[in-house]
Structure 1
Amino acid sequence: MALNEKEKSCCCFTDTDILKQIAAIASKWRDRPDMLIPVLHEVQKVAGNGIPKDVAMTVSREMRVPLSRIYGVETFYAFYSTEKRGKVLIRLCKSAPCHLKGAKDVLDAFEKVLGVRAGETTPDKMFTLETCECIGACDVSPAALIDDTVYGDLKPENVSELISLLRKRA
């Protein structure tokens, strides 16, 4: 599990202990490229809500999967990121049902409370705000997927309270 020179010189600077954890996760699935997606889900949580290059290189080495395949997966699926994101990941649905029920006003409220626009991370690295397509919660629209939990029937006037609650939990 020692890091090679290429990984040590990588510009991403993921903590060595985290890279060791990632190597341990990925090595369990050596020569099992069919397990890449579940491995990337687990790795992304450990790596700080993203899969930067040094993390991808570690997974590539340990699973014996080409780096290009990892990059292809993480750039194809919206739930992966090649960059680290905030500790709390807020994905606000922008599909038609959510849009019709006021998702734009909810997004505006999130942007105002957090002080960032969609696609950005707060300066304290606590929150990343994103928009996404349908999260399968049309019955409670407008909705957001916050980490792994769906929050529905969102109202602009409740966003500040929700952010305070999330900040306390994190």
Structure 2
Amino acid sequence: MSVRRLAKQQPDSFTFNAKSEKEIAFWLGKYPEARKASAVIPLLWIVQKQEGWVSEPALRVVAERLEMPYIRVYEVVTFYTMFNLAPVGEHLIQVCGTTPCMLRGSEALIKVCKSRIGEAGEISGDGKFTWVEVECMGACANGPMFQLANKDGDHYVEDLDAAKFEQILDDLAAGKDIKYGPQSERNASEPHGTKVLTDPALYDGSRAKKIKLPNTGKAEAKS
């Protein structure tokens, strides 16, 4: 893995917004006060979902909030590649390039990214897109695929080819909603052309038993 460094240009300061503060309270509630440094990854992720990337001032705010040395926070954020150390476009396109996706056409998706957006890590001229190539994201049966990260969350977009990918980029650029998951006729990773799970209750979670989850602020959730 190549060395990861913070961006040369940094904002003067960072402050968590009200939504982020609620999420921080949720995560800190999971750990004893003496072990709150365990929440460093969740807090860094909250920073990224708020700003799109993790700045140097944000590292200092996280370190102060968790009462841990700044260098420890720096070590975490530069180790995990899921953290963006520089600004990215409105939509971050993370294309899987590992063997299963590569064998099913991920190189065509990467070619589209280079022609439509630019080199990996660059922000497109309209500020809409940044793309990167990533390692396996566990959707091998649905390759080629990418993960879309934006203000709406993080979603898999699967069963792609170059034409479908081009259309998705067009729709995102136009501010339209897109379909997440397989861009084919199948549900999840069921076989092409065969409807195996015909009853939605077999996969929509409605049959799951309810369990109590400690330190979540929620009374119950489905398992």
Matched to 1:120, the amino acid is E
Letter in 1 for 2:48: Q
Q: How does 1:21-170 map to 2 (within 5 A)?
A: 21=17, 24=21, 28=25, 29=28, 32-47=36-51, 49-114=52-117, 116-147=118-149, 148-167=154-173, 168-169=175-176
In structure 1, what is the equivalent of residue 11 of structure 2? 13
1:71-91 deviation digits (Å, cap 9, x = unpaired): 111111111022121221110
- Return the alpha-carbon distance in structure 2 between the equivalents of residues 26 and 64 of structure 1: 18
- Secondary structure of the residue aligned to 2:138 is coil
**CA RMSD across the alignment:** 2.5
Partner amino acid, structure 2, of 1:77: Y
Aligned to 2:200: none
CA–CA separation in structure 1 for the residues paired with 2:120 and 2:67:
35
Q: CA offset at residue 120 of structure 1? A: 1.6
Q: Percent identity of the aligned residues?
A: 24
Structure with the larger RCO, 1 or 2 (CA within 8 Å, 6+ apart): 1
Deviation of 1:169 (Å): 4.2
Could you tell me how far 1:42 is from its partner in structure 2? 1.4
Give ranges in structure 2 of 5+ residues lacking alignment: 1-8, 178-223
Question: Scaled by the length of structure 1, what TM-score is found?
Answer: 0.81
Structure 1 unaligned residues grouped into runs of 5+: 1-10
Match of 2:172, SS state, is: helix
TM-score of the two chains, using structure 2 as the length reference: 0.63
